[in-house]
Amino acid sequence: MKPSYDTAGLMKQLQQQADVLKALLISLPDHDAITDVFDYIVGAQYGLVTAIEIGFVDRPGTWHSTYRPHLPQYVEHIAIQERVNNLWLAGFYFNSGIQRLAACFDRIPKLLKARGRNASARMKNVNPNKYGDWKKVYEEINAFKHEVTGRAKGRLVSMPQAVQALEEVLALLKSNEARLMATYK
């Protein structure tokens, strides 16, 4: 199975995002609130990059019928510190990346002192930029957390959408750099 997305293009975009992320980390104050949120973002970046490197394939449909019987093998491999199937491992890193991006959907507006009764309201109050892919990631993770079958019938977020969500995270932070510097000096 091969990825349906432009691997080289996404890796280039992730490299450009890394440059922005690094510059923000260098310029922003050394404050626990900033460090903790940025640690999630760095983890999201790592998860997405590693998923692509391993060969992540988007799964818009249900699991393959042979998926479940392999899970006991993966448990065994993990226990004896052997590498597991690359498709499973790539999915693990993708899930890690999007879970971190989803957490940032809630946390970054709070970092920016946004008001609102829930994460979506706070985001709307603090973010004039487009953030549709980031919101899709947030909703995807809520399905993981709250639906009994999670995303067994297929993912609704693709790798390109996850990379674009990271772009939206960085755009919000970059546009609020002065505000963050003043708030957390």
101-123 residue pLDDT tens: 999 999 999 999 999 999 999 99
Contact 90, 51 (CB under 8 A): yes
Give the per-residue pLDDT at 48. 98
Q: How far apart are CA 105 and CA 145, in angstroms?
A: 15
Give the per-residue pLDDT at 16. 98
Give the per-residue pLDDT at 2. 86
Give the per-residue pLDDT at 150. 74
Angle between helices 86-111 and 119-126 (to 10 degrees): 60
Q: How far apart are CA 5 and CA 52, in angstroms?
A: 10
- For residue 79, pLDDT beyond 90: yes
Local confidence band at 153 (pLDDT 50, 70, 90 cut-offs): confident
Give the per-residue pLDDT at 148. 81
Q: How far apart are CA 96 and CA 51, in angstroms?
A: 9
Give the per-residue pLDDT at 144. 82
User: What is the average per-residue pLDDT within 143-155?
Assistant: 80
User: What is the average per-residue pLDDT within 141-161?
Assistant: 85
Give the per-residue pLDDT at 62. 78
Give the per-residue pLDDT at 7. 95
Local confidence band at 127 (pLDDT 50, 70, 90 cut-offs): very high
Share of the chain above pLDDT 70, in %: 100
**For the chain, what's the residue count?**
185
Contact 45, 17 (CB under 8 A): yes
Contact 33, 184 (CB under 8 A): yes
Q: How far apart are CA 66 and CA 83, in angstroms?
A: 19
As given in the structure block, the two tokens for residue 22 are 């690094």
Instruction: Give φ, ψ of 61 to 5 degrees.
Output: -115, -175
